[in-house]
Structure 1
């Protein structure tokens, strides 16, 4: 069985493009996707392709280039998204292909459309000049609005594709928490890059509780020095993020047994970024913490082998009883 079996052949180029985007940019995400049952991977690639396309509009394009301001481009993209999700035709550009794959996956798995619009709302919060733009967040509750659309809904989009052993509503809370844990990890890892773009996502009240203000952050970034106050603030925020991971952990056992290994691998590897931050002495303002390839392989290889063996058995014995679930 291949990833595209059962999908309209006319859509195969669209799904292949989304897979290529995931492979090129996803790293940990793509590695975890390879652990999923083959039939579910294409839908996940489509979700990634769309998220990547929107990120490119917000983060890569200049604020006012030949294609127009970012806000206008997001508005145009949302119009195209609504048309595609409504069954309208798409063109042949790369972005059209991504939308075609997304619309197909959304229809096949009955993913609520509101999740995609919430994602676009949060992306507008990153766009200077937008009515909802914010470059600073004072408290965790203030940040929650942004994280719902930028992170929680990613987990919620995934649920219908992954499948659950319970009513899907029971898995919503943990799935949202896992998305938020990933996003908080990103905020810690990317603190220096974000500051260079004049953005501070980590709540300023949380930082101020340890004596960290923007002036101190910029001084540390300029000098390469890790102030003890910053070290304590980051240790606190890492502890908070690990607590969010613990909230999400029970939700993995609510998923279809065949996908648990993939999601646990993603959770372990993403949480490892926090350990890398600690091991670097919290030098997030001057370098980006990365999980080594050796570590990624050590965590994923045994599960990849098990997933591959299960897939091989399914291809060789399609009429026999279903393969045993991928175990952890």
Structure 2
């Protein structure tokens, strides 16, 4: 007869002694139904880590959010946060998941590729996903939502993670995303020093709730650099009339288009930028732009921009406008891709 796990904490709720306890179902025990696709718990953005002993911290991985599911009919499915079936994208993860000692489960985590410094590399992950590469893609699990007939979402995070530890095993393709109990600001500083994407803060005793309920927070490490503005797009529906700026970096003796920035403007700054750029119009872009219709300008304006990283195609990721700078001040260093 199939056994079903329940969660049981140690004396006094000692999380370190929490474990999955198997018991044989009797007539009064009915399995929880296997859930339809569960919308993920999403982290709200925060500018600084929260304080308090009820928070634990994890590294924020720069990868693809992924659910590993073993259904009652035995099927293994890899599902994205948007509900798409990516079972054929990551054969290494799929093979490792086949060895998990549970008849049914839903595991939440992130597919990542690590570079030589042990930092998650999103561009390398994109490439591996396109190639269906088995060896380099890892799955970092951070939550267990369902296991062998028990829906675990109502349990505290620490107990769900204790159950995850019991089944994730030691296959190198499946790893625990470790949590730490630390000063959040110090942990963030250490993560940024290591060139990580940032950190995630989670309430240790919170249940798993789909959506952005505030139980999870993300605090990112961003890079900042200065880029030449080579064009803009205006819109009546945008704040201050400015939809986005087109940016370029130096590359050798020329300029290379690195994408656009469309967030971070105040209404006042957007209006001022538009007023300035309208005096610098030219008929063609000074760099080769692969998409978008814009008003092109002479590259005499510099924008300081924060961004998460650069895609494999050389475009800025999650760019946000910080401020305009004076190009001829002698103190501005334009980003140089050939450096």
Q: TM-score, normalised by structure 1?
A: 0.28
TM-score between the two structures when normalised by the length of structure 2: 0.28
Q: Which structure has more strand as a fraction of its residues?
A: 2
Structure number with bigger Rg = 2
